[in-house]
Amino acid sequence: MLAIRRFLAALALAVPALAIAAAPIAMHRDPGCPCCLKWAAQVRAQFGRQVQVIDDSQRALLQKRLGVPADLASCHTAVIDGMVFEGHVPIADMKRVLAQRPKGVAGLAVAGMPTGSEGMEMRGQKGQAYDVIAFGPGGRRVFAHHAA
């Protein structure tokens, strides 16, 4: 009987985690922005989950509601497992923050659209250096630096 109770307890803990992992990813983009689709395809491939692309001409309101600092705005805003990702955040950084869940961090942002960032790769052009900024109730800090 004890073994069955332990199994049921473990199952109860695992089911919500599985449900979260299988949840589709919502990505709101500036209508018609093509680089957002490249980023979404990379996210879909790396996370193995559906990415719902939403053309959103009122995205600034969403960014404000989600706590994205205005100076970190980019062309798309995604929500994955309750965390916010603004702009061309590298997938490795997204996976790391989702695994760590640092206290006071609501999400990550890459301001603007730096050449060479995920979804902004351009054949024959050298990438730019850029920072990935963690933001949230705990303030802001550089989460990762990507060299050119």
- pLDDT tens figures, 35-83: 778 888 889 998 999 999 999 999 999 999 999 999 999 888 999 999 9
Q: 3-class DSSP state for residue 50?
A: coil
Q: Which domains are delineated in the chain?
A: 2-146 (3.40.30.10)
Q: What pLDDT score was predicted for residue 123? A: 79
CB 26 within 8 A of CB 54: yes
Instruction: Give strand pairing partners of 51.
Output: 25
Query: pTM of whole model > 0.85?
Result: no
93-144 confidence digits (pLDDT tens): 999 999 999 999 999 999 877 666 666 566 777 778 889 999 999 999 999 9
